Amino acid sequence: MLNDLLAEFRPLFDRRQFRQFSRYIASSWASPTRSVAHLNGVFVEHTNQSNPNRFLRNIPVLDIFRKSVDLINRYSSDPVLVLDDTILPRSGKHIEGAGWVFDHTEGRSVYGMQYATAIISGNEWIFPLNLDLKT
């Protein structure tokens, strides 16, 4: 099922980008931890962490969104849009994309990386629409 879904997105990427995209999607489903370093390490043959970081900063968001909407219209009824922002606390001082962000669950600013995600959920499917690092 996952391979069939990934194949729908194949035309949006070159060979190397599609490999990163596939690895990111597969590891996101297989792991409860969502840090790029952890997701990269899920695979026996993991790449340098800068590769998935670079990929995530340069994905064709609009094309992925359009393909996702096409799939939603094809396979789902009564979909629900889910928007979420997540803060991943960090402790390193020279981490690209990290900074001080307000965490409403703690009522204070924390040092970390804030991601906004959007998915559409319907019937038996969850369609990732967007992942955006807020800087």
Please report, for the chain, the start and end positions of each structural domain, with discontinuous segments joined by +: 1-59, 62-135
The answer, as to whether pTM is greater than 0.75, is no
Going by their DSSP bridges, the two strands 125-134 and 108-122 should be labelled as antiparallel
Q: Half-sphere exposure (CA, 13 Å, Cβ side) for 41?
A: 7
pLDDT at 135: 66
pLDDT at 45: 64
What is the per-residue pLDDT across 70-126, written as a single tens digit (0 to 9) for each?
A: 887 787 777 888 898 889 999 888 888 899 999 999 999 999 999 888 888 877 777
Which amino acid makes up residue 108?
A: R
Which amino acid makes up residue 26?
A: A
The terminus-to-terminus CA distance of the chain in angstroms comes to: 34
